[in-house]
Amino acid sequence: MAQIIDGKAIAADIRREVAAEAAALASAHNIVPGLAVVIVGSRKDSQTYVNMKRKACAEVGIRSIDLDLPEDISELALVAEVHRLNADPAVHGILVQLPLPKHINEEKILSEISIEKDVDGFHPLNIGKLAMKGRQPLFLPCTPKIKGDWIKPGAAVIDVGTNSVDDPTRKSGYRLVGDVDFAEVSKVAGYLTPVPGGVGPMTVAMLLKNTVDGAKWGIVE
């Protein structure tokens, strides 16, 4: 059986470090790291992650700037909102929750985020530098469909999928699952991340870390 990688425990350590750094910034420089979280529409899985990120910000001393936009917002209007956040000095990181509605070009929106505020690491320049030898992106992406017979025995399987499935036994009416057939893959893999409790907590923790790092830029010690 696969050894389950406890994303929650690792993420908890990172959050404690981020909280200490945020407190030091506020005390020494009167800077409160600010993260703008943009969500378009009302997908259940997206809402779950956005709420998780906003709660996490509050827990570590990061100011969450919430922007909930309608499903039918135009691409032009969304670009304008991104530009507004780019120009706001109180915003040190911008996260646009994916996926976006089909009428909006995701690549276009992500490329409009200032590279200095691209804490998700999805800007084409950050992705390009990540892929090039000897280049250092400003931010690394925060997130590190498999069946049991698709993988080699002993492989490390990182499930980054998030899907909502109906579950009448839950108060919410649904539960979250990954892309991996957990029961089947756990019999073959050497290491496996669960959903929830694996990549999700780590993604949020590294998002917080990137936001604090963004707030540090320009500070002269």
Catalytic residues: 53, 97, 120
**Radius of gyration, alpha carbons of the chain:** 18
- Residue from 104, 79, 105 nearest 94 by CA: 79
Residue located via tokens 């706001």: 88
For residue 26, the one-letter residue type is: A
Residues counted in the chain: 221
Whether residue 6 contacts residue 193, with contact meaning beta carbons closer than 8 Å, is answered with no
DSSP 8-class letter at 177? E
Beta sheet of 3-4, edge-to-edge order: 3-4, 191-192, 156-157
Copy the structure tokens of residue 161. Answer: 């999928």
Determine the Cα–Cα distance for residues 73 and 104; give it in Å rounded to an integer: 9
Residues 184 and 17: their CA atoms lie apart, in Å, by 36
φ, ψ for residue 95, nearest 5 deg: -125, 120
> By CB neighbour count within 10 A (0-12 exposed, 13-18 middle, 19+ buried), where does 215 fall?
buried
